[in-house]
Amino acid sequence: MNMSDISIRTEGHAGRITLTRPKALNALSYGMCMAVEQALDNWHDDPVVALIIIDAEGDKAFCAGGDIVELYGTGMDGDYHYGRKFWRDEYRMNAKLAEYPKPIVSLMHGFTMGGGVGLGGHVSHRVVCDSSQISMPECEIGFVPDVGGSYLLAQASGRLGEYLGLTAARMGPGDAIHAGFADYYIPQDQWPELIDWLAVSGDVGAVASAAQPVPDSPLAAQQPQIDALFGGDGLQDLLNALRGDDSDFAAKTLKTLLRNAPLSMAVALKMIHRLRGPSLTIRKALEMEYRVSHRIMENGDFLEGIRAAIIDKDRNPRWKHAPDVVPDDAVAQMLTPLGTDTLGFEED
């Protein structure tokens, strides 16, 4: 890892984690994930550190996701071990953030996607601003919502989880709070003062005090329609419902689904349905996600999805299955327990 990618320090009573890779939209490398985990471990019993603040440099993004170009190279060489280790260790870090005993404040401006949601979306105090654009875009590249994204999607009200997970729709601040991906709206020009006060006081109550009324959520207005269209059991049911609806929203949504990876969408739908309910924990979600990430390079559309979106940029992925004929056994295979390779949350 390049140490210029992340800045870790203490200021007053605050542990500070700042992503400093703005040119790469603060994409999370393996080294950055490990540095975050190390910082969490170091501050766990430090009496000086009362709370932790996670933010990022640059105008455009808090964190636009994981650094997948690195994963692509190893996967194309037939080395699936590197990706599996990356995901296993990243997911352990996501669980640590979610379960941390001290308050953690995340300041999620601009693009906050995939791995960025894993970093900022599970902590105790999640702040958004006007520029915030939060999404789980994995189905666009032949993967599934991971880094604990399935945990948030399964808890979103009604069928928002299915909609957000399968379409990769972006949420502004009002939508993110409505869907349970954020807690507080604070205009970004007030962040420096808030950070200073948190460091001086060590009092996380300052976040709620600084919060402004939540902006409107277009998603909330759309929710009755989303709930009706995304209530089906399988991907085919959703496609049928969208084809049978003559609204502009349904037509636009159908177009999006027909572009995304069919196997990914079918698996993501099954995951959200299985996870939803009172027994859901972040670890349960991460363990199920890891079943998919462990297999995705070898058996899924992930490498082809990255090729089409990022490597060749031809935007013309050749998915393994057509949207209307994703075999049930292909979905089941992705979600079968991993036995000895099951995700654990201890360090190797």
Report yes or no on 87 lying in a domain: yes
45 CB-near residues (< 8 Å, 6+ apart) = none
User: Hey, which residues are catalytic here?
Assistant: 66, 115, 138, 146
From the list 74, 94, 52, the residue with the least C-alpha distance to 204 is: 52
CB 217 within 8 A of CB 178: yes
Report yes or no on 236 lying in a domain: yes
For the chain, count helices (H), then strands (E). 16, 9
Q: How many domains does the chain have?
A: 1
CATH classification of the domain holding 133: 3.90.226.10
From the list 23, 217, 227, 204, the residue with the least C-alpha distance to 134 is: 217
Report yes or no on 104 lying in a domain: yes
From the list 186, 345, 203, 334, the residue with the least C-alpha distance to 274 is: 334
β-strand 6-11 against 51-56: which pairing, if any?
Answer: unpaired
**Strands ordered across the beta sheet of 104-108:** 6-11, 14-19, 51-56, 104-108, 125-128, 184-185
**Strands ordered across the beta sheet of 111-113:** 61-63, 111-113, 133-135
Q: Which tokens hold the place of 169?
A: 């729709």
Specify the pTM. 0.97
Place of tokens 């501050």: 43
Report yes or no on 14 lying in a domain: yes
pLDDT of 70 reads 80
Alpha carbon separation from 119 to 73, 82, 140, 226, 272 (Å, rounded): 24, 20, 20, 27, 20
CB 306 within 8 A of CB 27: no
Report yes or no on 48 lying in a domain: yes
Mean pLDDT by 10 residues, the chain (348 residues): 87 98 96 97 98 98 91 91 95 98 98 98 98 98 98 98 98 98 98 98 98 97 98 97 97 98 98 96 98 94 94 95 96 97 88
Report yes or no on 346 lying in a domain: no
Report yes or no on 348 lying in a domain: no
- Expressed as residue numbers, the domain containing 283 is 3-341
Report yes or no on 347 lying in a domain: no
pLDDT of 1 reads 56
